[in-house]
Amino acid sequence: MLQCIFLYAQASQLDQAKKALEERKPHDAYAIFQAIVESDPDNFEAHNGMAKALDYSGDPQGALMAYNNSLNIQPDQPEVWLNIGNLYYSGKDLSNAANAYKKAIDLDPQFGRAYNNLATVYRDEENYPSAIEMFKNAVESDPDYARGYRNLGDIYTLIEDYENAIYWLKKATSADPDNLFGWYWLGRAQLRSGKAEDAIQNFQRVIKQRPDLFQVHHNLGEAYLATYNFEGAIDHMNTAISLNPNGTIFYVTLNKIYQKLGQNELAMSVLEKALDRNPAQSQIYIERGDIHKAHQRMDEALADYSQAVLYDPRSWEGYYKKGVSLYYQSRLDEAQKEL
């Protein structure tokens, strides 16, 4: 009878502690879990709860110790190995993260999230074939795992295999049609593969629900530009700028639209606004130098390209264009040094 009362009280404490974790009150949760462990040292659930509370409190080393205490009591816990892997991954220890994810998979060969997270490690290491294999294992283990499909599509986009990217991202949107990332990434892959009309539909779907996403407005503007809808392109670039006035790429793209329309004064005006916001961004000087060069203003072009390499000494484009400008001015020795 006393044992039943004890177990009931302990279960009630566990529920209270888990609720505190859900409410993001890690210190309260930790105190309850610790009290359970003091009365029942072999309660691995309480050790796991202590680990999560310590993790939420910003103590990853303490969390690792608590998870290891839990594993000493009950070794067969793939979820714990996943959490350990996540702690190592957050600390940028990719080797130990991968080992932990592999242990989770050994314990549960159908553990989709463990495959997904192992794939993420391989992706970060630029081991793309292994990453793709693990992402595929993730969705084979769990056919409803939308994040796995999204990550497959994303990595294929990264390696510029847009056909496969679109294939997997369509599966992602089917598995989780409410997730806007899936639609956005699908639109991005479609845009890069030359399917601008399809991309427009998916970007519009995202913006309809989240009109505050400036990057999506930028991509939608690019898609309109690809279909020669200059009015739509300009409108969404300006929206992106109004939402994020410090986004250099938005000004750069808007400037290119105006250049395509032959409106070079407007293009220069946009770049001046960009420099007011970000005076040390080399790409802005390169764009402005290109306009000067196109109109045979070689001194002004050279000055802008020189500024570009001053602010970004690693900019091969800046050095190349500076060298070309010097060449056009017959300053061959100087040009050779830049080229």
> Are the CB atoms for 24 and 56 separated by under 8 Å?
yes
- 197-244 residue pLDDT tens: 999 999 999 999 999 999 999 999 999 999 999 999 999 999 999 999
Task: Examine residue 339 and state whether it is found in any structural domain, yes or no.
Answer: yes
Identify the domain containing residue 339 by its residue range.
281-339
Determine, yes or no, domain membership for 171.
Answer: no
- What's the structural domain count of the chain? 1
Q: Is residue 237 part of a domain?
A: no
- What pLDDT is attached to residue 171? 98
pLDDT range class, residue 14, cuts 50, 70, 90: confident
The answer to whether position 212 is within a domain reads no
Tokens 């302990």 correspond to what residue? 10
- pLDDT confidence of residue 333: 58
Question: In sequence order, which ranges of the chain are alpha helices (DSSP H)?
Answer: 2-22, 26-39, 44-56, 60-73, 78-90, 94-107, 112-124, 128-141, 146-158, 162-175, 180-192, 196-209, 214-226, 230-243, 248-260, 264-277, 282-294, 298-311, 316-328, 332-338
- DSSP conformational letter for 24: T
**Could you tell me which residue, 332 or 282, shows the higher pLDDT?**
282
The pLDDT tens digits of the residues spanning 93-114 come to: 999 999 999 999 999 999 999 9
Q: What is the pLDDT of residue 42?
A: 94
Instruction: Tell me if 203 sits within 8 A of 186, measured CB to CB.
Output: no
> Sorting pLDDT into bands at 50, 70 and 90, what band is 339?
low
**What confidence category does residue 7 fall into, taking pLDDT thresholds of 50, 70 and 90?**
very low
Tokens of 297: 């203003």
Mean pLDDT of 145-172: 98
Within a domain: residue 312?
yes
Give CA 317 to chain center in angstroms.
26
Q: Could you tell me if residue 241 is inside a domain?
A: no
Average pLDDT, the chain: 92
Averaged pLDDT for residues 178-191? 98
Interatomic CA distance for residues 116 and 105, integer angstroms: 11
> How many angstroms separate the CA atoms of 309 and 121, rounded?
34
Give the phi and the psi of residue 327 in degrees, each rounded to 5.
-60, -45
- Evaluate whether residue 70 is within a structural domain: no
Question: Can you tell me the mean pLDDT for 117-128?
Answer: 98
Cα 75 from Cα 199, distance rounded (Å): 48
Of 43, 242, 97, 313, give the one whose Cα is nearest residue 254: 242
Model confidence pLDDT, tens digit, residues 275-304: 999 999 999 999 999 999 999 998 999 999
Tokens in use for 157?
């986009």
Average pLDDT over every residue of 192-201? 98
Q: Indicate the pLDDT class of residue 183, thresholds 50, 70 and 90.
A: very high
State the residue for tokens 């056909």.
163
Residue 313 CA: distances (Å) to CA of 112, 286, 290, 304: 44, 13, 18, 14
Question: H or E element: which one contains 48?
Answer: helix 44-56
- Residue 306 is part of a domain; what is its CATH number? 1.25.40.10
